[in-house]
Amino acid sequence: MRKIILTTITLFTENRKKIPREVCSILAILMFFTGYSSVIYSQSLVTISGTVVDEGGVPMPGVNVIQLNSTRGATTDFDGNFKIEVDEGSIVEFSYIGYETFVIEKAAATMSEMNIIMKPNASKLDEVVVIGYGEQKRSDVTGSVSSIKADDIVESGNTDVLGAIQGKIAGVRINAQSGEPGAAMDIQIRGASSLYGSSSPLFVIDGVPYDMNADEVANAEETNIGHAVNPLSDLDPNSIESMEVLKDASATAIYGSRGANGVVIITTKSGTPGKSRINYHGYTSFSEAATTLDLLNGDDWIDYQRIVRPESPLFYEIVDGNIDTNSPIDPYAYKQTDWQKEAFRNAITQSHSISISGGNKQTTWAGGVSYLDKEGVIRRNDYERLNARLKVDHKHTDKLRVGINLNGSTETNEGATNTGLANSANGIVQRIIMSRPVQYYDPSTDDELTGFITPLSMIDNAEKSTNTIRMTGNVYAEYSFLPELKLKVDAGGRLSSSKGKMFYGSNTIWGNLNNGIASLQERRSGSWNFITQLSYNKRFNRIHKIDATGVFEAGHYNYEYQSMRSTDFMDESTGIDDISKGALVSSVRSSRWSSNRVSWLGRVNYSLLWRYLFTVSFRVDGSDKFGPGNRYGYFPSFAFAWQAHKEDFLKSVDALTELKLRLSYGETGNERIPAYRYFSEMENTFYASGGSSLFGMSPGSLANPDLKWETTRQFNTGVDIGLFKNRLNITADYYIKQTHDMLLPASIASETGYTQQWRNMGRLDNTGVELSINSVNVNTKDWNWTTNFNISANRNTIKDLGDIDYIPVIMTNGTIANLGRVQVGHSLGTGYGFVWDGIYQIDDFIWQEDSNPEIPHESRNYELKDGVPSVAGATVQPGGHKFKDLNGDGVVDDDNDRTFISRSLPKHVGGFSSNLSYKNFDFNFFFEWSYGGDMINLGKRLVEGPGGGVWNLSQDFYDNRWTPENQGNTHPDFLINNPTSSMMSSYYVEDASYLRLSSVTLSYTLPDRWLDKTGFSNVKVYVKGTNLHVWTNYSSFDPDVRWNNNLLPGVDRFAYPRPRSYIVGLMFSL
């Protein structure tokens, strides 16, 4: 074709006066649409050659060398050499990710043996970011996309990828469910978008989307809590090249139904042509519990017992099963124990990661293994992880590329795991805090045969572990029909198998009453995803650029679960290895479900004059989670960006490097609810018959064939500003996100024969602002100082719940069960209860004999004075919680005097980091914070005298509690004297704001001259401290914890303490 056009041009040049005008017009059009219009300017070819090196003179293999508006291109070899034949006078570009593009404006025959020096890309404008089904230069992105690179992830010192980015990206809020090793991290992008559907974002790893099911990891049933899956726990942070977070609908709508909660795109490291390289990163950390609670010691607890249980077996012998008050004993002779000191330990963690990469002109590869052995701060609590990965890319021909990517991991969590979350009052952490510090036999609480059983029995005499094996992989083939037209086919899958086992013998607290408890649980899941993608990328006349993508996608997910629980063991010698020895099989369960999805999508990015940028996308998703008439959802988006700094009227502003204004609108969906909800559902029921229970079935959920997609509509406007050659970069966004037709399990009238029905009803809004500021403050030969700051604020409001007045938030197994309420006009995560109004004082009451002060306090029959509010259902007395009578009727009751008393969601969150480098030294620190969120601290009640006075107490409470002699107004009397303590009130609400010094790092990179003859390079040693200090008014271990309930996440009952760690590490290359 090229020869034909060149011949035609020659004939045209020689005989242009003889050729009709119509033929000239046809020829011009032909040249334009075939991309050969530039040949009219050049009829001869020239060869240019040379070497491409970086600023240090090191040859750079793999640099792309192309002639613009042509099919001519080449790649530098191992030694950075290139040779390419181009049109004389044409424009030639040299490009490589992370480096500034080098441009030859006019190619000439004299350009041989050139020395091209590529400079690192100090500007972010030419940085390539992954946007979903493709890549773009950051300067061309129209949506709201945030990035974090490999160094930021690795240098965090966090063993978990999500933990490594906490506080570093505006609009992304990450919380740990607890401080235990391997604990799940909750991540929300721009707030929760659903009540019952998952609010976790979609994760895309090396181009393959993965929906994560929170039930994929087996748990320990006896604690009555789940252990949510950590979707990135099978990834070694060292293997990640970059992470992009797509936040607005323009960026996420390309993923349609899966993008309503945002999208996290992870790209793992690939090989590069050239000499193979070996990289090692290892460290050892020493950790301790960052906080311990101040509890009564043995002597103070004995004094406490003299007050509440003066005739307990602590002070008198037991004779014939009764306490003999004539036989006193010395309580100080009993062994006293600080259970925190006994259970907590100085933990050691080791991490080793080795990666190997390399390749040649045709094939590149990267692989590695990593091993993590992490001890928890509670002894015999260990987390072990082994990762392995392999990534191969092969250029079979100039047109065909193929590749494979495999990633596998095995994780084992042993010991006191899964016991520290909010709705567990009998977990190991709770027992360590609550157990009495004096070891003696008390028949009111202890078994006669075993006597006092210490909380350490659940650590030392129990068997408990969860093992999870995951394997992910994908293969792809990409064929280039033309340089601008490519077809890519990608097939990937994920397998997960998790097994939990638990045994508590009769000599443990849990197993004692049941003569041993054993449980086995297994969860398996598998998914596959198939993607066919056609891409067209073309520049026209240097002012137009079109990047069009069409995709077909299909996916399948399958989940299986089975468990068995046995009790009453006659022989405990084999423990969990033979649970058939349990005489009573108390539970057998199993379930399985699967879902299918099919999608079509299209996206067009159009650039006009390199400054007016347009993006349009449309996606159709089909899901079998809905009935036949509602299985398809339609999700459009539009975005526009204006690179105003390229306009003539701003080119004279030297300080302005970038000014980009962005505007977008899009719709995304959500169908992450349990499968088959549009069907009717039956459930197991036991019916009373003749004094016994008979197993049967009863109606559960009513069918709803009209159930359809939950839809989120989002509007976003933003600005990107670069000043002083991008020494200062500012990004700001404002968004409005509205979720319509929310998927809810609505309660329905009992006359239907059912209890609930899944429906589309209601609306949930999120509005917010985000601000990021990055600066290069000093940049000289020896000194470099950079800072990064981000802050984001999100407001969440429930606008509509259909015909539902409110949704109560109930905690099962909780001493205070009714904690919160979801109601129109308020946000998610609101506590609901009475407004605490101090403590009832003696002056609020009258008593017998005209309030005779000579009558002892404990002998008085108190009655409230007129005008002092009473509490319905409780006989109040001095020292008890007092609540506000909101309606003024003199009686505090559930119907009229409860209100909204807490808000889990913070007003704003953010982070600040600073990195200072001097020659080979680097110093870095990072702060992250959360302000304005509340925590319902139910642990507070557990250390104020529950359980008849047999548990331990908080020292602060004991010292400042209300007494007739010390009638304070901040701490009540012991709970056994305080009947209103079991009512939900703002007394238990605490400010969970905090500022955390998350990490401080000092590193030193060995000079190259020291390593010339060793074969080593990039050798770095460092020391780091993490979680060094938290400024907070929160009274428990740590304010940054989360109950695994999206309706009310701000609940804590002594979550597993977060560690403070000191790390020594080494990195090098070979």
Given this model, what pLDDT does residue 126 score? 56
Extended strands (E) in 71-213: 73-75, 81-87, 92-95, 102-104, 114-118, 128-130, 135-137, 145-149, 172-176, 185-189, 202-205, 208-210
- For residues 301 and 271, is the Cβ–Cβ distance under 8 A? no
Given this model, what pLDDT does residue 425 score? 54
Given this model, what pLDDT does residue 421 score? 43
- CATH topology identical between 2-118 and 128-268: no
Distance, in Å, from the CA atom of 142 to the CA atom of 138, rounded to the nearest integer, reads 9
Distance, in Å, from the CA atom of 322 to the CA atom of 1027, rounded to the nearest integer, reads 51
DSSP-assigned states of every residue in 864-904? EPTTSPEETT----TTSEEE--TT-SSEE-HHHH-EEEEE-
Extended strands (E) in 609-752: 612-623, 632-643, 656-670, 681-689, 692-702, 710-723, 728-740, 743-747
Distance, in Å, from the CA atom of 703 to the CA atom of 680, rounded to the nearest integer, reads 4
Given this model, what pLDDT does residue 230 score? 64
Given this model, what pLDDT does residue 1041 score? 87
Contacts (Cβ under 8 Å, ≥6 apart) of 716: 143, 144, 247, 248, 249, 250, 662, 663, 664, 665, 733, 734, 735, 736
**HSE-CB for 542 with a 13 A CA cutoff:** 6
Residue ranges for the chain with pLDDT beneath 50 = 1-42, 122, 125, 223-227, 417-424
**Candidate CATH numbers 2.40.10.220, 2.170.130.10, 3.40.30.10, 3.40.50.920; the one for domain 128-268:** 2.170.130.10
- What class does CATH assign to 2-118? mainly beta
Least Cα distance to 118 among 103, 107, 137 occurs for 103
Least Cα distance to 337 among 509, 449, 452 occurs for 452
Q: Exposed, middle or buried: residue 56 (CB in 10 Å: 0-12, 13-18, 19+)?
A: exposed
**Four-CA torsion 564, 568, 574, 578, nearest 10 degrees:** -30
- For residues 714 and 738, is the Cβ–Cβ distance under 8 A? yes
Given this model, what pLDDT does residue 403 score? 95
This prediction has a pTM of 0.85
Distance, in Å, from the CA atom of 656 to the CA atom of 555, rounded to the nearest integer, reads 46
Given this model, what pLDDT does residue 271 score? 86
Angle at 829 between CA 823 and CA 832, to 5 degrees: 60
Copy the structure tokens of residue 499: 């097994």
Copy the structure tokens of residue 994: 């905090």
Least Cα distance to 187 among 132, 142, 146 occurs for 146
Given this model, what pLDDT does residue 803 score? 86
Contacts (Cβ under 8 Å, ≥6 apart) of 1002: 921, 922, 923, 1022, 1023, 1024
| Displacement of CA 481 from its chain's centroid (Å) | 40
Q: At what angle do helices 21-33 and 2-14 cross, to 10 degrees?
A: 150
Per domain, the residue ranges of the chain are: 2-118, 128-268, 298-337, 836-891+943-991
Extended strands (E) in 725-800: 728-740, 743-747, 756-760, 763-779, 783-800
β-strand partners of 274 = 359
